[in-house]
Chain A
Amino acid sequence: KQEVTQIPAALSVPEGENLVLNCSFTDSAIYNLQWFRQDPGKGLTSLLLIQSSQREQTSGRLNASLDKSSGRSTLYIAASQPGDSATYLCAVIVNTDKLIFGTGTRLQVFP
């Protein structure tokens, strides 16, 4: 059974810091891995999607890497801003259909 874990569960940092959020999964047989952002009481915003054949994806200040063999992905946030405060979820995509979500990292960036 695929399990997805995210570390740390919560993070509070001053503005300007570079951050690394971690995601690990137990079964390397995945199609893709996706990172999402969720603001309190809101739906999900897709940040980055990495295909299983790819190593990383970049969008602006965000960079996500994927190491399938070790069952790990990291989301790197450069020069964090208060507007980055949210919960970050990673999800692995299995069987082309199912998204299995991680436990989330609650990020707070203070001025």
Chain B
Amino acid sequence: GAVVSQHPSRVICKSGTSVKIECRSLDFQATTMFWYRQFPKKSLMLMATSNEGSKATYEQGVEKDKFLINHASLTLSTLTVTSAHPEDSSFYICSARGYLAGPYNEQFFGPGTRLTVL
């Protein structure tokens, strides 16, 4: 149980285009989803927290107009990187937490999405 998927796993796009990444909780209802970014050989940095049906809360330094987050249902959150540039190239990982996902407010992580902007 407590499986989180991401789609796509890998995307290459041209500079200036927008890219949407989906995060789904497959076997539980995710009341809260989190989006992280990971640079090569670096640790994960929290970008934003989203609760179902409300606006995302962004971490300091993260541009909310650049990284649009939507959490429209209890099983789906999306991250849209708008007008992507090469510096947006990174590994994006989502996690999800729900009432039945596990004790201790545990977050369950997706497999990640590798974004490369040319």
Contacts and interface: CB of A to CB of B under 8 A. Distances in A.
Interface of A: 31-32, 34, 36, 41-46, 49, 51, 89, 91, 93, 96-104
Given A41-B114, A97-B32, A97-B49, A46 B108 contact: yes
Given A97-B32, A98-B46, A101-B43, A43 B111 contact: yes
- Decide if the interface of chain A is mainly helix, strand, loop or mixed: strand
B12 to A, nearest CB: 15
Contacts of A45: 109
Interface residues of B, number: 22
B105 A96 contact: yes
A46 B108 CA distance: 8
A89 B41 CA distance: 12
